[in-house]
Amino acid sequence: MAKKSDDEPVAKLSVRVTPRASTNAVVGYVDGVLSVRLTAPPVEGAANEACCTFVAGVLGVSKSHVTVAGGAHNRNKVLAIRGLTPSELQRALASACPAKS
């Protein structure tokens, strides 16, 4: 098992979640905010867990590396992605979902 390191990079990502959608999907990435639709309902942390799992898949990181750092009871969340620097996060987002003007 990998040992957690205090000097491991952590990047923050702002996410706007629309729960109870028909499918999980990235809607866009505009002005530093990733908009996603999730099938999970916003009850008992289901949408938070689905958000972390979905974003981890989009970024290509382990789902255990993505946690809700803010906005657990809100559509607008801040996710902490362990193991990625902010520049690595931007590159991963740019390849997964090009920004719209």
Q: Does residue 53 contact residue 63 with C-beta atoms inside 8 Å? A: yes
Residue 21, number of CB atoms within 10 A of its CB = 14
pLDDT at 1: 40
pLDDT at 86: 94
Query: Of the candidates 74, 82, 95, 73, which has an alpha carbon nearest to the alpha carbon of residue 16?
Result: 74
pLDDT tens series, the chain, 101 aa: 444 556 789 999 999 999 999 999 999 998 999 999 999 999 999 999 999 999 999 999 999 999 999 999 999 999 999 999 999 999 999 888 755 54
Determine whether domain 14-95 maps to CATH 1.20.1300.10. no
Output the pTM of the full model. Answer: 0.87
